[in-house]
Amino acid sequence: MAMDTMSGLLSGIKVLDFTTAFVGPFCSRIMADMGAEVIKIERPVHNQEDRFTPESLPTRNGVPFLHLNGGKKSLCIDLKHPRGLEIVRSLVKQVDVFVENYTPHVVRSYGLDYPNLHALNPRIIMCSMTGYGQEGFAHNPEHVCTDPVAQAVSGLNWITGEPDGAPYTIGGGIGDTITGMTGGLAVGYALFHRERTGVGQYIDLSMIESLLFLDSLGMPHTAANHGIPLHHRNGKQNTYTFPMGILKAKEGYISLQAPGQGPNSAWGRLCVCMGREDMIDDPRYLTDDDRLLRRDEVVGIIEGWLQGMSDDEAALAVLAEARISSGPVLSQAQIWEHPHYRDRGAFQEISYPELGPIGVVSPPYKFSETPAMVRGPAPQLGEHNHEVLTVNLGLTPAEVDALADGGVIYESRAARKRRLAAARAA
C-alpha cells in the first residue's frame, strides 16, 4: 500500500486537497501523478463505509472517485468542530499548495480563504476553481455552474453539433477536466515562480474561461474581427477547411483532413488515392471553399471510395502512405484493446485490496527523468488519519484515537481494515 512519491517531478511537494466532485479532484490528481503528497480533506459521510466493491464498478457513480483520487491520502475531519479546523490550519503551515473548488462562501466560512492561508503560510499557493470565477455570474458568486453549463456559457456548445441543428454538449466531463488541467498547469508555474522568488500566490480559475481559452479557432477569429464570427457548428465536417472530419467507411468511421489545392496538397493526394485525379484541377473542387459548396457531393465520393475498400485497415494504410492525416473513430471499448494505446502505456493496473487488479487511465505525460503515474489506489474514507496526523503534526497514536473518539476525525470500516492490514504487512 506504500505510495511511490520519490521519483516524481513534484516529489517533496505537499498539497492540501479541499475539493469535491470532478474539477478540483482532477487538478490534484495531476499533482499526485507527478509525485506530490496529496492530502484530501474529507467530511464524515457514513454511507461510504465501503467505497470500492465489485458491485460499485459497473455503476454510474462507482468509478469516478477511483479515477480522480488514485494515490491520494484521505484525512476525514469534521470542520465544524473547532479542533478540526485547528488541525487543518496546522497543516496549512506545512503544505505548498491548497486546492479547492467550492463556491466562494465555503472557504470563507471556515476561515480558509487566501488572506487567512497567506497569514499562516506566506509561501502557500492557493488555487480556487469555480464555474464563473470568484465574482460569480452577474455578480452572484453563489450562482452554481457545472460542466454542461460551462460548455454552454463558454461558447463550446455553440461550435459543436450539426450546422442547422441545436448545439451539442460534449461528453466525458470535458469542462471539469480541462479546468482541472488548467489548474494543474497554473499551480506548476506558480511553484516555479515561488522557487525563484520565495513568494506564494492566489489563483482564481473559472471553468468558463478555461473552456473559452481552449477554443483556438472560433473565439480568436471573433475577437480579432471585433465580434464578427467566422466559424460555425461543423457537424461531421469542418466549415473552414474541407474535407476535414468524420466519414463512413466500410466497417466503421474514419476521420481525415485533406485540405489544399493542387496535386501536391493533401487534397490532391487524396484524389490520387481514390483514382479521381480528374478532381484535382476541376474548378468545382479546386479549393476548400469550392468543395464546401458541394460538401454533400464530395463527402459522397470519398465515402464511396472508403466503403469500396476491403476493410477500414486497408483504407487507413493507403491514407497513411499518402501522408494524409487520418485515423479510425474508436469507441472506449476499442481503445482499451488497441495495441497502440497498450504500447504507449496508456493504462496501468493498480491493486485494490477490495477488488484486486483494476485498470486505470495513465497520465499522458512521458517524462524521461521523472515518470508520471498513478501511484496507488484511491483512499478509503479517513484511511490516512493516523499517518497524516502522526507524521505531519507529531500526534501520538493515542491522541489520534482520542480525536476519533471525540468525533473530530472519522475512519470508515473499510479504511480501518486497510490501515490495519498495512500495519501487519509492515
Q: What is the CA radius of gyration of the chain?
A: 26
Question: Where is 180: in which H helix or E strand?
Answer: helix 174-197
98 assigned to some structural domain: yes
| Domain annotation covers residue 238 | no
- The answer to whether residue 272 sits within a structural domain is no
**Tens of pLDDT, residues 124-163:** 999 999 999 999 998 898 899 999 999 999 999 998 898 8
State pLDDT tens for residues 375-411: 999 999 999 999 999 999 999 999 999 999 999 999 9
Structural domain of 414: 14-214+377-425
Flag whether 368 is in a domain: no
Q: Is residue 246 part of a domain?
A: no
Residue 307 φ/ψ, nearest 5 degrees = -75, -15
Res 58 pLDDT > 90: no
Q: Determine the average pLDDT of the residues in 334-349.
A: 96
The domain spanning residue 166 has which CATH number? Answer: 3.40.50.10540
Is residue 27 assigned to a domain? yes
Q: Is residue 19 situated within a structural domain?
A: yes
Instruction: Determine the 3-state secondary structure of 328 from DSSP.
Output: strand
Of the candidates 382, 389, 412, 376, which has an alpha carbon nearest to the alpha carbon of residue 42? 382
With CA atoms as reference, report the closest residue to 97 among 177, 38, 43: 38
Q: How many domains does the chain have?
A: 1
The residue-averaged pLDDT of 345-372 equals 95
304 inside domain: no
